[in-house]
Structure 1
Amino acid sequence: MPVLPGAPPVEIRLKRSAQARRFSLRVSRLDGRVTLSLPLRARESEAMAFARSQEGWIRSALAEIPLREGVGIGSVVPVEGQFLRLESAAGRTVRREGDSLLVPGDPGQIGARTGAFLRALARERLVAASDRYAALIGRRVERVTLRDTRSRWGSCAQDGALMYSWRLVMAPPTVLDYVAAHEVAHMVEMNHSADFWAVVERLCPGWQEQRKWLHSSGQALHQYRFGD
């Protein structure tokens, strides 16, 4: 992968595209990946010369990306829209108590245990929401898969299988419900037509506010690192 020299060096991912008519740069605010799109016949040397001419903009964009925060005792983490402080505790199960999330076991593993707790809670909430919305349109969810996706919050396959980012469980419950309704609506309309949005509105009235929350605040859910 080509590298823009400097301190630190920056890897540049080249993406050739038949639709590209000129060079264009994109810096992902989720993981800091720098992508340079270029026409099919463009030379790599020309592309990197363009990247060097935009070095100031690239480094400025990278500097604005929040660092991922390692989770440990005393960290504050959002759980279903509520910020909870992680505390070491006795016992065997992770549990909420007031404004705290009590995590038993080795304090050095508190991040991993919190991540496991969130994934289990996400599966419970997302399966329930998906089944509820699917029943409203007379469909059945084949399976639900959870991933730590950075490019999308969910997806729906032709066979009715749904995929979600488990980090949705960190958002307010209404936001998680909206994403579930959105993906279930694709069982009826595999597009984003007016008919599709009509299904979303029927399943989740007022979805616009939840979508706005994802656009304005969803990125922050990726800043927490749970030891994985």
Structure 2
Amino acid sequence: MELAGRRLDYRLRRSARRTLALRVDHRGVQVSAPQRLPEAEIEAFLLANHGWLERKLGDLRSAASVAAFEAVDGALFPLEGRPARLVVVPGRRRACWSVGEDGVEELWLGDGVDTRAALLRALKARATERFTPRLAEYCARLGRAPVPLRLTSARTRWGSCSTRSGIRLHWRLIHVAPALADYVIAHEVAHLAEMNHSPRFWQIVEALYPNWREARRALAEVARTLPAIDARDTLAPEDM
């Protein structure tokens, strides 16, 4: 269709659902619609969400232009909202976190390993270490027992929640400031009470994390700047 003077290609998926839904990911724009909804109403829905579409498509273009991270000695990468440094040490066998003379946190790796893979393992281990107690804290605030935590590499989500398997958090949240990671944790914990995005759900989020609106905006901004350490990290997860 033509949208604001531009051609917009989108995939249309019809099902027994009752409402319209819009998604933008590495495959492009997808609209999910009820079986018999007229195309005119679908296009009106796209027009009404033109601003959101432009922003998400811009994010796609920005993510595609991010250069692959070079895992070399001295390379800087974000860690919990601050810059950290990769240090390659000849003969070292195990990864080790340290602090440099300039106060910058460092990850020491040996020169005989796949530095990118070793960096990825270290970041995921750090994410599990940091997020597990935060998840337990927010579960307690909701009056729930802690649920299992798993890490994910999903392309389009910062996290997900299942009443059976627990909560999944994107490992790349270890890049962002703890306050922003906490917002995602609070968001997913709120789903333990409301498995939807109803007004009641957002009331729970606000009770758990009052500044969620500011955190949501900040997370969307910082997501565009994250390095592509994993070869699959071609996109930033979408807003929550």
Structures share a fold, TM > 0.5? yes
Unaligned runs of 5+ in 1: 1-12, 20-25, 41-56
Q: 1:181 to 1:113 in 2, by over 3 A?
A: same
Q: Return the TM-score normalized by structure 1.
A: 0.70
> Among residues 149, 163, 171, which one is paired with 2:168 in the alignment?
163
Task: Determine the C-alpha separation between the residues in 1 that align with 2:123 and 2:110.
Answer: 16
Task: Determine the C-alpha separation between the residues in 2 that align with 1:196 and 1:27.
Answer: 23
Q: CA deviation digits over 1:102-125, x for unaligned, max 9?
A: 313125522222211110111112
8 Å contact from structure 1 (residues 70, 225) kept in 2: no
Q: Bigger CA drift: 122-131 or 84-93?
A: 84-93
Q: Aligned runs of 1:1-228 on 2, under 5 Å?
A: 15-18=11-14, 28=25, 33-34=27-28, 61=61, 65-89=65-89, 90=92, 92-97=94-99, 98-106=103-111, 108-159=113-164, 161-221=166-226, 223-225=228-230
* Cα RMSD, aligned residues only: 3.3
**1:166 shift after superposition:** 0.5
Q: 1:207 to 1:227 in 2, by over 3 A?
A: closer
Task: Determine the C-alpha separation between the residues in 2 that align with 1:227 and 1:210.
Answer: 25
Q: Bigger CA drift: 199-208 or 91-100?
A: 91-100
Task: Determine the C-alpha separation between the residues in 1 that align with 2:74 and 2:206.
Answer: 40
Task: Determine the C-alpha separation between the residues in 2 that align with 1:156 and 1:224.
Answer: 25
Task: Determine the C-alpha separation between the residues in 1 that align with 2:63 and 2:142.
Answer: 46
Aligned length: 189
Identity %: 33
Unaligned runs of 5+ in 2: 1-8, 16-22, 36-56, 234-240
Task: Determine the C-alpha separation between the residues in 2 that align with 1:138 and 1:38.
Answer: 35
